[in-house]
Amino acid sequence: MASRRPLARLEHVRDELVELGRLAESLTAESFAASYLHRRAVEHAVLIISEAVRALPADLTDRHPGPRWADIRGIGNVLRHDYFAVEPAILWNILTVHLPPLASVVEAMMADVRTGDDGSG
């Protein structure tokens, strides 16, 4: 079910991306793999991002086709149900390769919502 407040969901995504970016700057793949706390923090942030994206109106995500929205929605299920199969290298790849480009898309989506073009109606 789509949120009645897509801007709030996008702000949640943006906030997680900002903090994850800061975290990634302070780590290497090796230090990340060795840190239980960092891996769990990234898992939780990715869960928040996934859940927020799941609540966005389809019309809004359809107008911003760059990210692999189905994968973003689906990673939450993987982390909730198949957490034991998620290797640190996969999380590192999500953190350093897949999430950074999402920030500019989220900003563009927020601009759409602020101008009343949020796809919710």
Angle at 94 between CA 88 and CA 99, to 5 degrees: 150
pTM of the model: 0.90
What is the helix (H) or strand (E) element at residue 41, kind and residue range?
Answer: helix 36-54
pLDDT at residue 1 in the model: 44
pLDDT in tens, 63-73: 999 999 999 99
Q: What is the pLDDT of residues 31-58, one digit of tens each?
A: 999 999 999 999 999 999 999 999 999 9
DSSP labels for 65-110?
-SS-HHHHHHHHHHHHHSGGG--HHHHHHIIIIISTTHHHHHHHHH
Q: Which residue has the higher pLDDT, 4 or 82?
A: 82
Token pair, residue 74, equals: 């689906």
pLDDT in tens, 102-118: 999 999 999 999 998 65
Residue 66 and residue 71: Cα distance in Å, rounded? 12
